[in-house]
Structure 1
Amino acid sequence: MTTQTNSGSCCSSDGSCGSGAATAVQGDGVTTVYKVSGMTCGHCEDAVAQEISALDGVTAVKAVAETGEITVTSAAPLDEEAVRAAVDEAGYELVGRA
């Protein structure tokens, strides 16, 4: 079992990791794209998307490890510090808005 830490990646040093797809849900509202460092695989995408999805007002999240981008749709603009805390909780670093 891979242990995720705040060091940035859920993957092992040999590049192996958990599998899964990014969370994607259709919705209306405000869409913001953020850059996140440390995502390397589908498991990483899922971890970040799950934490951000738990924020109040979030209706959709799509994380793409290849680009390091997280697209978030919410009912109203989100507080960037709340997004930063969610990304940190998942074990990654929010770089800022893309």
Structure 2
Amino acid sequence: MSTETYLVEGMTCGHCAGSVEREVRAVPGVASAIVDLAAKTVTVTTASVVEGESIAAAIAEAGYAFAGRA
């Protein structure tokens, strides 16, 4: 397992956080995704290799901006 933390721009509430978590968890290979709304991050634990581009695409699908690794 591997864990990475990514910066997310545009989240302002619990609904935002939930949307990001749901989209990122749907990426194949992702075991968990936990948003820290105050820090504007999502911490992703993967069970297999997952490219950062897949995480960025999931964040964009949720309607927010991927801002790189934390």
Q: For the superposition of Structure 1 and Structure 2, which TM-score range results when normalised by the shorter chain?
A: over 0.9
Is residue 65 of structure 2 the alignment partner of residue 93 of structure 1?
yes
2:31 maps to 1:59: yes
Name the structure 2 match of 1:30: 2
Selected match of 1:82 from 44, 50, 54: 54
Matched with 2:14 is: 42
List alignment gaps of at least 5 residues for structure 2. none
Q: What displacement does 1:62 show? A: 0.3
Gaps of 5+ in 1: 1-28
The structure 1 segments of at least 4 consecutive aligned residues displaced by more than 4 Å after TM superposition are none
Q: What is the aligned partner in structure 2 of residue 9 from structure 1?
A: none
Higher relative contact order (CA 8 A, sep 6+): 2
Distance (whole Å) between structure 1 residues aligned to residue 52 and residue 16 of structure 2: 20
Q: Percent identity?
A: 41
Q: Alpha-carbon deviation of 1:78?
A: 1.7
How many residues align? The count is 70
